[in-house]
Amino acid sequence: ARRVMVAARALLFWALVYSYCGVCACIAGLRLLWSIGRRPGETFRWVVRENPPACLNDPSLGTHCYVRIKDSGLRFHYVAAGERGKPLMLLLHGFPEFWYSWRHQLREFKSEYRVVALDLRGYGETDAPPHKENYKLDCLIADIKDILESLGYNKCVLIGHDWGGMIAWLVAICYPEMVTKLIVVNFPHPSVFTEYILRHPSQLIKSGYYFFFQMPWFPEFMFTLNDFKVLKSLFTSQATGIGRKGCRLTAEDIEAYLYVFSQPGALTGPINHYRTIFSCLPLQHHEVIMPTLLLWGERDAFMEVEMAEITRIYVKNHFRLTILSEASHWLQQDQPDIVNKLIWTFLKEETKRKRE
């Protein structure tokens, strides 16, 4: 009877996944037809940017570096600021972002840390394996462990935003000895996310892109329409973008994102991160044992703020939660001064607590 129940739950779960995937695909198809009907000439316009904007080579952000991992053979790109030998601060970006989303933190924390902003597997100048199986959570967690060792460190302050926050939580759970302090921006503990999304239809709708991304090639195609209009609107629209009181992205910042993601095939790796997610969750282990800071923009269009408070139960150490009422999902870019100050306070506070 128990086996039947488990099988029935699994069947129901996958039926939900694929049904919602179909609904999201239909909505995307209708939007495509609407766009073709209104502006057929503009719909399929796609400009490949050949030269990076100057901001991507700004020396104040640090040095562009590469490291090849022995086990996977993949070459990772990162930007590093601060002196070698200082404590490591490792920054993991979200979707659809890359190392540049941490530009404000690279400048801020290099005085006391070796700050490394990584391009995750499949993103930007980091290698992108072709098969979706290469993007399972186990591979993404192992990447962080291997990169840490390749950089000559055995521990770090780990900071992650959005999907990078998911990876940061999992690294902290699987390799607690490697994370001295954990800071996550706008992503709850993974167990909170998987439990909450199944019980709250509103969050299920907000996470619709997780289901849409299960489809092959079509999500990438939708991103390219109208010269990556979806990408631009994610950061600039009233619904999902940085709000009126935020630090809005400049035209050059937007061009940096367009440069990276307009390259042929540049979206497949990032979207592949999502294509294995339903076979990897829920987790076997849950607890986080290091001091943890969770920062949250209350106006997040993709993640409901209620998940932030529930996360507390999984952290078996000092836990600090700060919710910024006027901030969006893109918190470290939206409110960089406040975010940097909160991170400094947490880091200094933890150092003081250890001394006492």
List residues with catalytic annotation.
162, 274, 329
Tokens of 162: 């959005």
Residues 6+ apart with CB under 8 A from 153: 88
Using CB atoms within 10 A of its CB, is residue 308 exposed (0-12), middle (13-18) or buried (19+)? buried
Tell me the C-alpha to C-alpha distance, in Å, between residue 88 and each of 91, 114, 339: 10, 5, 19
Q: How large is the C-alpha radius of gyration of the chain?
A: 20
Q: Which residue spans within the chain are E strands per DSSP?
A: 63-68, 75-81, 88-92, 114-118, 156-161, 179-185, 292-297, 319-324
Task: Quote the distance between the C-alpha of residue 199 and its chain's center.
Answer: 23
Q: Residue 20: how many CB atoms within 10 A of its CB? A: 18
Query: Structure tokens of 175?
Result: 């390799």
Please give the Cα distance from 67 to 348 (Å, whole number).
31
Alpha-carbon distance of 148 to 150, in angstroms, equals 6
Q: Would you call 17 exposed, middle or buried from its count of C-beta atoms within 10 A (0-12, 13-18, 19+)?
A: middle
Across the strands, what pairs with 292?
182, 319
Half-sphere exposure of 146 (CA within 13 A, CB side): 18
